[in-house]
Amino acid sequence: MSSVSPSSLPPAHPLAWLDAHAARRREAGLRRELRPRRAGEPLLDLAGNDYLGLSADPRVVQGGVEALRTWGAGSTGSRLVTGTTSLHAELEAELAAFCGAGSALVFSSGYAANLGVLTALSGPDALIVSDAANHASLVDACRLSRARVVVVPHDDVSAVEAALAARSETRALVVTDSVNSVDGGLAPLRALHTVCRARGALLVVDEAHGLGVCGPGGRGLLADVGLAGADDVVATVTLSKSLGSQGGAVLGPAAVTAHLVDTARSFIFDTGLAPASVGAALAALRVLREEPGRPARVLRAAAALADAAGVPAPPSAVVSVVLGEPGVAFAAAQRCAERGLRVGCFRPPSVPEGTSRLRLTARATLTDDDLALVRTVLAEVLAPAVAR
């Protein structure tokens, strides 16, 4: 009986596996789709991260327009060639001053900032201790760092201390989000810093969801716990959430940002942030500085959203409503949209199996009428979803 050698079979198309992969994801309720927004859509948006309601603020839009007219549509090159304008330097100086840091360095995104800071400050002779719930950008940065990485349970300070105590590496970094992007919880930054200082480790904190919401005047959770400007703390921020624009930045001692300019690949080899985004972010930062009551309005709105959803009020802008299976959460999000309310739907791998959820994000500009709509829609949608 003759057999056919695999090498004699006609080769399969190199992308043939994609159809089966997509089918498995669809069956598991995990297929994702792009859903373009249209200008002037009537849906009330509780899915985006425009916490301060500044992305369409006329002052912020004007800041972007003026930068566009002055500098053109693009930065024209990397930050080290032609991609640094005087506007970039102005934003960096004001951002550092606002957050109480020694210096700031602007990247093209918060993702790029996280990649840059972790890869440039670690390496083969370093240990990174990473919280299990960290954002994907931090996870990817750890993977690219060439450092030894120990992933510890979420917010487990004892596990962090144990990992640092057992290390043989000359350098160590502990990395965490200040505000968890999924459940809105706050990291135990003071306790983590105490452990880091005792063990000679650098604390790296992603303030993406903290800036503009937490701390005095929205200066972030590090400022709230008295760690802003500490010489053994480095922070990253995004300009695309509370500041309503685009981009990211690293905040820390001047020696750190100087080192990033020399060595951070996601800074050196990336085109600089577009001037319009820089101008808009700078205008938004100035609005926040002039209107320090906005962060408190975000937290009041978050408490109202949580009350409408029947969950505890969060200490941040993020309200998490766990529904369980992916299909249940996705269907609930769809029903909300049909009733005029856009909400986030988080499914694995963004969250652990069995914890798919709706994520509602508060905004300083939500009105009483907006909140009344939320209460009505959630009452209609959540009762059957929870009953399942």
pLDDT digits 0-9 by tens, 51-92: 999 999 999 999 999 999 999 999 999 999 999 999 999 999
pLDDT: which is higher, 24 or 383: 24
Helix (H, G, I), strand (E, B) or coil at 271: strand
CB within 8 A of 287, min separation 6: which ones? 52, 54, 57, 59, 60, 294
Please count the other Cβ atoms lying within 10 Å of the Cβ belonging to residue 124: 9
Q: What is the CA radius of gyration of the chain?
A: 22
Strand 44-46 vs strand 103-107: parallel, antiparallel, or unpaired?
Answer: unpaired
* Rounded-to-integer distance, Cα 118 and Cα 149, Å: 11
Q: What percent of the chain has pLDDT over 70?
A: 97
Tell me the two tokens of residue 193.
């810093």
Q: What are the C-alpha distances in Å from 323 to residues 215, 328, 339, 340, 346?
A: 31, 7, 19, 20, 10
Tell me the two tokens of residue 175.
């990395």
Q: What is residue 349's predicted lDDT score, i.e. its pLDDT? A: 87
Handedness of CA 210, 211, 215, 218 (dihedral sign): negative
Q: What is residue 29's predicted lDDT score, i.e. its pLDDT? A: 82
40 — pLDDT class (breaks 50, 70, 90): confident
**Mean pLDDT to the nearest integer, 295-320:** 98
Q: What percent of the chain has pLDDT over 90?
A: 89
**Given a cut of 90, is residue 116 above it in pLDDT?**
yes
**Given a cut of 80, is residue 324 above it in pLDDT?**
yes
**Given a cut of 60, is residue 388 above it in pLDDT?**
no
Question: What DSSP state is assigned to residue 219?
Answer: -
- Average pLDDT for the chain: 95
Strands (E), 187-313: 202-206, 233-238, 248-252
1 — pLDDT class (breaks 50, 70, 90): low
322 — pLDDT class (breaks 50, 70, 90): very high
CB 318 within 8 A of CB 312: no
CB 43 within 8 A of CB 343: no
* Rounded-to-integer distance, Cα 150 and Cα 128, Å: 6
10 — pLDDT class (breaks 50, 70, 90): confident
**CB burial readout 97-117, b (16+ within 10 A) else e:** ebbbbebbbbbbbbbbbbbbb
Q: What is residue 242's predicted lDDT score, i.e. its pLDDT? A: 98
Domains of the chain, first to last: 34-49+317-387 (3.90.1150.10), 58-290 (3.40.640.10)
8 — pLDDT class (breaks 50, 70, 90): confident
* Rounded-to-integer distance, Cα 328 and Cα 356, Å: 8
Closest CA to 115 of 222, 271, 267, 242: 267
Closest CA to 49 of 188, 287, 211: 211
**Mean pLDDT to the nearest integer, 262-266:** 98
6 — pLDDT class (breaks 50, 70, 90): low
Identify the residue whose tokens are 């480790």. 201
* Rounded-to-integer distance, Cα 225 and Cα 161, Å: 20
**Given a cut of 80, is residue 308 above it in pLDDT?**
yes
